Structure formats: C-alpha cells, structure tokens
Structure 1
Amino acid sequence: MTAHDSSRDRGRGDAATCPAVFIAAPASGQGKTTVTAALARILRNQGKVVRVFKTGPDYLDPLVLAQASGQPVDQLDLWMAGEAYCRQRLYEAALNADLILVEGAMGLFDGEPSSADLAALFDLPMVIVMDVKGMAQTAAALVAGLVGFRDDIRIAGLIANACGSPRHRELIDAALPPAIPLLAAVERNANLALPERHLGLVQAEEIREDLESRFEAGAKALLAEGLAEALLQLPPVTFAAAPGGAMEPLPSLHGRTILHGHTIAVARDAAFSFIYQANLDLLERMGATLRCFSPLTDECLPPCDALWLPGGYPELHATPLAANESMREDIRRFFATDKPILAECGGMLYCLETLTDYDDRTHTMLGLLPGHGAMRGRRGCQGMQTADLPEGPIRGHAHHRSVAEGTPEPIAHGRRQRHPAPGEAIYRQRRLTATYLHLFFPDNPAAVARLFEQGPGQTIETEESHGCD
C-alpha cells in the first residue's frame, strides 16, 4: 500500500489533515519555483501525491509546477479569489495528498494580502528559499529578521540556494538562530534554473523536454539533502472545509444553470494560454460546453454561442496569427452576429487593428476594436483590479508590457485594489468586451453568466450551491 492509499481516510467530516509547507523567499528571483518543482518531482518519482498551489494571479508558474508534480495546480489569492475559495481548495487537496506545497509570490511580506498573510491564515509552516550568492553569515541575519518580523507565522527552516561550497554552507549553518535549521543547501548550477522571458517563466509547453531534465537535476540535488523526507516529518496541518463550499450560488434561468446548452469556444495554444483552470471549471459547472481551438493553426471557429480570447503571448506569434486569414475572417463573421466575445490582455491585442512586436514589425490583427497595440520595454503595468462591467463587478488583475493606442472611449475602467487612480480601460463594441484585465470568474459567477449568455436582458435567478466539484 502506498502512502497515498493509506492517507485517504484522513478526512473527518468537514476537516482533513495533511503535511503542508509554504515555500517563501525574501524577494523575487530567489529560486522558489525551481525548489518547489524539484520537491514535487521527488515525491512524484516516489509514487506519492503532491498537490502544489501558487500564491497570487500567476499563469506561468502553475503550468511548470503541474508538469513537475503531475497534478493540477490552482492559484490561491485572498483578495482575488477570497478566503472561502482558498480554504476549500486546500481542504480538497488534503483529502488525498501526501504533501501540500504552496509557493509564495515576491517577498513573503510583500503585497496586501501577502504570502505571510496566507500562510498565517491557514497555519502553514514556512520554509525560506534564499539565494546566498555573495553572502554567508548575513544570510542568517536576514532569516533572523524575517522570523522576528511577525509573531503569527512559523518558519521551519532555510534552503540556501546557489551555495558555493561546503565551507559556504558551514558558515551559514553556524550563524542561523538555533530554532531555524538549514534544511538544504543547493549548489550553484545553471542547469537547475528555469528559463524566463519578459512576463516570467517560459511556458511549460514550449520547453517540455528541457524542463524535464531540469526537474530531474533539481530532484537529484534535493534528494541528496534529504529535504523531502524532512518536510514529510513536519506535524500535519488541519484544513477545514469552507462553510457551504467555496462556490457562490450558481446563476440559473427557469430552474437550469444559465449557460446550460451554451457552447463557448476558448482560444488555447502557444499564443493564448493565460487561463485559470478555475474559470474553465466554473463555466462547465454553469452548464457550458467548452471547445478549445487554436487561432494559430485552425482554419475556423468551432460551432459556438460565445467566444473567449484569453491572454498570452500574441506578440511572439503575431506573424502566424496575421497569416491565418481564414480564422481572422471567421472571427469577424462571428463578431458581426452580435454573439458574446470576451477578450483579455493578449486577446484584446488580437482584436485590435494591428500589433507591433518587439522587433518593430507591425502585423494585421482582427480589427474588431479600433486601435493599435505595441510592445514596450521591461517596464509594464500590473496590479489587482475590479472590472466594473455592466453585468456586475469581477475581480482580476493586469500584467502586460504593451500599450493600446487609438482605441475608442472605454465604457469603464478597472477599480484598483488600493489606489484611487483609474485602472485598465474596459471597451465594449457590440457584444465584444475587451480589456487588459484578466478576470477571475469564480469571484462573480452571475456576472460571468450575463457576460457569456447568448441573449441580452434575461432575468437571472440563483440556485443554492452544492460546493466545489
């Protein structure tokens, strides 16, 4: 019997227990994702079930972590998704996982709410990953400062990343506070790091074989340190189910979920891949049939009642997007029928008249929305915002390194989480809704149903939710 098989009885009523660790860091770029992926691969290789979560509105890291763990990876964000959603996801994972890993975002105290807030709320022990290149005892001093900054978090140890030598390790270990062990020291090795580009990590699908070699190299390095075994020995965490489940009541019409019988075409390929699995799950729970297609390679849309063009990297694939004239023409015909279209960030750029890439080449796009998109340098826009749509408010976030110029007057702007200045513009052309914002659908299922429903002006009722599927 595997550890996974024997753990299935840990659920007791509305609570479940499971070993769990929060992987945090003092800043971005310390190697959190590399370490988390390597840990997940160790356990997967041992036949154990490891469930990984990513803090914040991140699309790229979860794809990498899903490949490493062989399990789906959900985003946990207290502002965008809410406490009940996060609580329910952790509870469901604890029912059958051997270990839960939650990877933080940025530095552990950065943001409101921060990684530390999430860890404190669910009583998750934190392990600090720190790039120790160029320092020794100072690394211990930084850890001591993190430990003492708040009294509601538990720090279980340090993982020293980019460690230069056994002597380097000894110096750090000797200087650490007695209660904070050095759990592992990872040598400097370029073969372990994960490739990056302008919005974060390179998409997993593009470098699948390369990632596999990096996962295995990282797993080998951490296996020698005994890190996975040490984490499995930590006292298990008890996860309570969210009261009533994590989902809002599902919108319905005449006793059936509002999207029952609707088919929604979802663009999904190398150009359009910034998709929350939670969004897909919600659409299906509301009765929609989802049909994925590729604007890069398919000649036409699948038969559908609504269209979703999510974010991604259209700037990297602008040439084949522009060359696929049959797809562009079919989407234009769909737009002319006044059926719903949601275009987010990269999807919005695709809807503009032209897109100029990083090499200053201009490509013809769909032309559904007047305006021209252009990529810019490393500086960009990001942040949590609420999209105040006519259908209702939906929380989400923005993260882009492009500008859209010559666009029409927006119908609204995003409402920033903590700043009074207007956020991202929200455009409406016929039934097209276009914005830089990436929406988190479970925040307001009724508004999402109104956004995708085929006919305007229907009265939406609500049914009681039966929790998460």
Structure 2
Amino acid sequence: MAYSVAPILYGYKHFNPTVRIAGVIFNQVAGESHFSYLKQACTDAGVHCFGYLPRQKDIEIPSRHLGLTLDEKFRFEEFADRIAASIEQYIQVDDLLNICSKETENVQSISAPVSSFSSRKLKIAVAHDEAFNFTYQENINQLKEYGDVEFFSPLRHFSAPLSADLLYLPGGYPEFFLSPLSANKSMIQSIRDYALSGGRVLAECGGMMYLCNSITGMDGISYPMAGVLDQEATMENMKLHLGYRMGEYNGVTWRGHEFHYSSLRNPMKSACQLYSARNTPVDTALIRYKNVIAGYTHLYWGEQCIFDLWK
C-alpha cells in the first residue's frame, strides 16, 4: 500500500470525532521512495506522520497456527536492540514523546480491582514454560498486588506448588509438547490432587486442555492428561474459533477473547451462557467443577478482580 492509504487515514480521523488521531507510524516500508508516497498521503489527509520502520529480514519471526513462533532459537533480546536502532533512525521520537506526554497529563493510573476475597497476602502459582506462556504482564502484575507469585513448569518440575491459594494454568502450545507433558506423571498427579481436593484453579485454553482426560494431537495419537475435567481435547479436524466473549457469572459481567484451533469431545456443561461481541449466544463453555474454573476464553482482568470468580 502506498498513496491509497490516504482515504483510510482520512476515515479514521473523521469517523469518530471524539477519538483524536495524534499521528501515524508506518511499518514494513520498502524504502525512501515508498515512504514519500505515504508521507504525502498523511499531508493530504491532515494526519501527522512520525516516520516509519523499514522492512528488516533480521527481525522477522515466522508464524504458526496461533500466532508468532516462540522458539528459543530466535534471540529476541537481540531483536529489541535492532528495532530500537531503527526507531532512533527513522522515527521522530522526541515529537512522539512530546505529544504523548501532553495527551496523558490527565490520565490516572489504574490499580488492580479491589476484592473482598481475602485480607491476607495470597500465594499464587503460575504455570510458565514452552507449553504454557500465553500470559499478559498486566495480569501477572495484578496477581502480584494480591500476593506472592511463584512460577512453575509442568514440563520439567516434579510438582505444582500445592500450598498455593490459586493455581493459574494459562494458554499456550500444549499440542506441541503432548508426550513430555503426559510423561510427567508426578506433575499431573499433583495438579489433579490439588484440584480434586478443592484448590482454586483458573485454566485458560491450553491450560484447560491440560486438565482434560486426554489431548489428541494433529497426528491422531491421544495422550493422557490430568483428568480433572471429564472431557477430551483434540487437534484433529482443526477449525478456527475466534472472537470476543462476554457473560455473567457470580453476579459479575466478564469479558474475554477466544482464539484456538482445537475442539472438545463430550464437552462439560457451561456454568453460564457466553455471548459474542454482537450479543449472539455462543457454544463456548465456562466450566465450573469444584473450585476449578476453565474454558477456552482468555478472560480480561482489568474490570473485575479475578478472585471474584470464587466469591
């Protein structure tokens, strides 16, 4: 895209007058000649241009079925230095910082939602390794406001932290680690014992799959998992499930998003009805079993205290 970006910029600027477009930065620009057309489009649309980032082969990350690959062979810390150098060279950083500081003068910081769940400092265990890493730093920061956060690896550690007040199993790529996850019997048993004894567990997407009786891989082979939830997850006949979700549970409206290719066999009954962004009922479940809350939906924690799921 070159000069044809002008009507798009004009549309964004005028579609909603309450939203002020401070400016634009272009990405994947082929060179100075390409940028000259983009910059002229900004001038004609009345939108400030802060600069651009060129195409850079040395920071390309290949994608897979749920987004960018997270393989350790990519030295992401080096990517940051290369991107920073490009930003310094091609973007008007001082102008960008100046306008951002002016626009955010009256913006108040948002603290973690308050809950009456507990007055004491909590212990929170978070699964984090190659199989489970779909976490938002904002959510981890919120958990740290409620207590001490301890990370553990379902792939490599012997047991989950059983003294935790909450066990958080986020999404990830368990389908790429089915054999080692299934082979770590002590970890599976510790999570099963914790859940069946009434421990609080929040399991999102891949974390929910891990709690199922089994996961069938793309090769058709089934691997036993924790067996906390009486259902089976499968990667066979992959189909994209995507969209924003909302529903009311425990008297609180929850929002989130769903993005996965797996599906469930014999899915458990949902604890509440979930809806799409257009308020259409969807068949995605939010499962409640004992003190386990699980589902494909990645919940948004910014509006409600996550512990209100158990109030």
TM-score between both structures, scaled by the size of structure 1: 0.58
* Pairing partner for 2:150 from 285, 291, 295: 291
What per-residue deviation string (whole Å, max 9, x for no partner) do you get for residues 302-322 of structure 1?
Answer: 232442222222112222101
* Structure 1 pair 359–250 and aligned structure 2 pair: CA distance change class (3 A): same
Q: Pick from 375, 382, 389: which aligns with 2:242?
A: 382
Match of 1:127 in 2: none
Structure 1 outlier segments of 4+, above 6 Å: none
| Cα pair distance change 1:372/1:217, threshold 3 Å | same
C-alpha offsets along residues 156-204 of structure 1, whole Å, 9 cap, x if unaligned?
Answer: 444343333433333443454354354324433322334432222334x
Secondary structure in 1 matching 2:273: strand
Secondary structure at the counterpart of residue 21 of structure 2? strand
Residue 34 of structure 2: aligned partner:
168
Supply the distance in 2 between the matched residues of 1:157 and 1:219 (Cα, whole angstroms). Answer: 19
Equivalent residue runs for 1:163-242 within 5 Å? 163-178=29-44, 179-203=46-70, 206-207=71-72, 210-234=75-99, 236-240=102-106, 242=108
2:44 is the counterpart of 1:151: no
- Give me the identity figure in percent: 28
Hey, what's the Cα distance between the residues in 2 that align with 1:441 and 1:226?
A: 33
- Superposed counterparts of 1:237-252, under 5 Å: 237-240=103-106, 242=108, 246-251=111-116
Q: Alignment partner of 1:353: what SS?
A: strand
1:210 counterpart letter in structure 2 = R
State which of 146, 151, 160 in structure 2 corresponds to 1:301.
Answer: 160
Equivalent residue, structure 2, for 1:362? 222
The residue type paired with residue 59 of structure 2 is L
Q: Distance in 1 between matches of 2:166 and 2:281?
A: 32
List aligned pairs for 1:13-412, cutoff 5 A.
132=1, 136-178=2-44, 179-203=46-70, 206-207=71-72, 210-234=75-99, 236-240=102-106, 242=108, 246-251=111-116, 258=118, 260=120, 262-286=122-146, 288-304=147-163, 305-375=165-235, 379-390=239-250, 392-412=252-272
Q: Distance in 1 between matches of 2:299 and 2:196?
A: 24
Q: Per chain length, whose mean CA-contact separation is higher, i.e. which structure has more relative contact order (CA < 8 Å, sep 6+)?
A: 1
With over 3 angstroms needed to count, the CA separation of the structure-2 counterparts of 1:240 and 1:328, relative to structure 1, is same
- Paired with 2:284 and 2:141, the residues of 1 have a C-alpha distance of 26
CA contact (8 A) 2:162 2:194 kept: no
Q: CA deviation at 1:435?
A: 1.3
Give the CA deviation at 1:404.
Answer: 0.9
Q: Which amino acid aligns with 2:289?
A: Q
Contact 2:127-2:170 at 8 Å conserved across structures? yes
Asked whether the equivalents of residues 192 and 217 of structure 1 are also in contact (C-alpha less than 8 Å), the reply is yes
**Structure 2 length as normaliser, TM-score?**
0.83
Contact kept in structure 1, 2:196 and 2:228, CA below 8 Å:
no
Q: Given the alignment, which residue of 273, 279, 298 partners 1:438?
A: 298
Ranges in structure 2 where 5+ consecutive residues have no aligned partner: none
How far residue 208 of structure 1 moved from its aligned partner, in angstroms, is 7.7
Give the C-alpha shift of residue 295 in structure 1. 0.7
CA distance in 2, matches of 1:149, 1:393: 29
Q: Which amino acid aligns with 1:154?
A: R
- Kindly provide the amino acid, as one letter, of the partner of residue 183 in structure 1: F
1:229 counterpart letter in structure 2? D
Give the Cα separation in 2 of the matches to 1:227 and 1:376.
48
> Given the superposition, is the C-alpha separation of residues 193 and 263 from structure 1 closer, same or farther in structure 2, using an over 3 Å criterion?
same
Q: Distance in 2 between matches of 1:166 and 1:281?
A: 41
Count how many residue pairs are aligned between Structure 1 and Structure 2: 308
* Contact preservation (8 Å) 2:248, 2:254: yes
Task: Say if 1:391 and 1:450, in contact at 8 Å, map to a contact too.
Answer: no
Moved more, 223-232 or 363-372: 223-232
Q: CA RMSD in A?
A: 3.1
